[in-house]
Structure 1
């Protein structure tokens, strides 16, 4: 894919195709949250400082993510910021239209409630809009002529540094954690679990993460270099990735008031529970992105 550096290089049809994929991605990734009652209520009572922090965290996340899966390939920070702004705008517009269409947002509601609801829902929707290119995008004619293998995929051709790998894991963990962190079931499960359940969940999370990326040969999985011991990937990627998912899970629970005024044992149990889908999201991100 050629990089649009001048007005003449800008392909209008490709750009609007990217916009369409962004809208589709926002719907695909955010629709479960748009239909979740807890997310509607959080838009009303959620602490505004925590909501603002979430919105601010999402901006650099989108900017960095756009360098890999933006609407077009980006070579400058200006282009990355442009793509991130477009993704955020698509998330806001998509969420607003869907919430109105479902009757969740009505004229008699206060601006405070409506703005909070849209702002909160726009975070996963904007991530989905950005991921629309990697998940829903097709190849250009030039790329098709070069072959049909995964090596020609413009999303996959970039080498990723170790910090980049951790960042992608954080994105995946954040996305799946955002889907379930607001629900009451997280708190309920923490009271049902025993320490043995928690240890089993931790073991299952680590096994799923390692299996997704290395052991089970999924499409897009990572192969170890010849001569590399099997434990190397587990220590270098799986364990740090799980730690990332734990930190992301704790942040999401704090953001959504799920661990306010909760005992330390239940807080730890809730984080362990949420880190299970977070770990799956982290592992899947390494395959997808």
Structure 2
């Protein structure tokens, strides 16, 4: 065997790896850019409770592992590979956050180390999601990869986790903003009920009725079963994620139960869309 023949596969593997990393950086930029340029996210990095920030980073890891299983840099055969891809995505998100925050002048020498670390850590979470999502959204899968993908049919529990990922990703975009709390104060109880109905309807339409690419086929049990078995639990996941994100960002501190519920319902709308769209893009 000649040297060129032995070097060929290695060179192709390196090219494929570099291409995957490039897609990861592109995805991190595309998906996290709105948060890089959101003032509330800058300030959150300074005053967010550090225990809540650490918890968010810890929650991020298993979600990245699951996301890697469905839409990683490459098709994986073992959970160790998914863990490795999750680590790579986290690293890409970390480096992207450092570069972007520095270039935009949001990290300066006169800042304390605590503030700098807080800003970078907070932005790394959405950027790491984007790094993995960029692989599936920006890349063109090979035929062999598509064949492998067909064998990876997610279980019901995996579907709920995917919805959790989608809800978390999209809710992170808007949860830190003051508008979320302002809207919840302006809405009445009837507005909240109408928004709940709209959220569920949109979520069900995204998943079943509108025939988007990646839509889930309607089960043989019928529409009512699909609604009760998938849409309602999915919306419950979106509400749970909304409550967690609001708590993480301190939006529930010193707030009454009524205002917390209203804020969860408001954030639950984009979270529900993210939960429904998660299965469409993976």
Q: Shorter-chain TM-score: which interval? A: over 0.9
Look up the match of 1:115. Answer: 117
- The alpha-carbon distance between structure 1 residues 159 and 110, as it changes in their structure 2 partners (threshold 3 A), is same
How many residues align? The count is 274
- The alpha-carbon distance between structure 1 residues 217 and 33, as it changes in their structure 2 partners (threshold 3 A), is same
Look up the match of 1:193. Answer: 187
Deviation at 1:154, TM superposition (A): 5.2
- Is the 1:210–1:234 Cα contact (8 Å) retained in structure 2? yes
Look up the match of 2:54. Answer: 52
Look up the match of 1:36. Answer: 38
Counterpart-to-counterpart distance in 2, 1:128 and 1:163: 23
Unaligned runs of 5+ in 2: 1-8
Higher helix share: 2
| DSSP-derived class of the 1:210 partner | helix
Alignment of 1:85-234 (within 5 A): 85-140=87-142, 143=143, 152=146, 155=149, 157-225=151-219, 227-234=220-227
| DSSP-derived class of the 2:275 partner | helix
**After the TM superposition, which segments of 4 or more aligned residues of structure 1 sit over 3 Å from their partners?**
7-10, 151-157
- Is the 1:134–1:155 Cα contact (8 Å) retained in structure 2? no
Q: What's the RMSD between the two structures over aligned residues?
A: 1.7
TM-score after normalising by structure 2 = 0.93
Look up the match of 2:3. Answer: none
- The alpha-carbon distance between structure 1 residues 155 and 192, as it changes in their structure 2 partners (threshold 3 A), is farther
Look up the match of 1:286. Answer: 279
| DSSP-derived class of the 2:68 partner | helix
Counterpart-to-counterpart distance in 1, 2:13 and 2:77: 16
| DSSP-derived class of the 2:258 partner | helix
TM-score after normalising by structure 1 = 0.91
Unaligned runs of 5+ in 1: 1-6
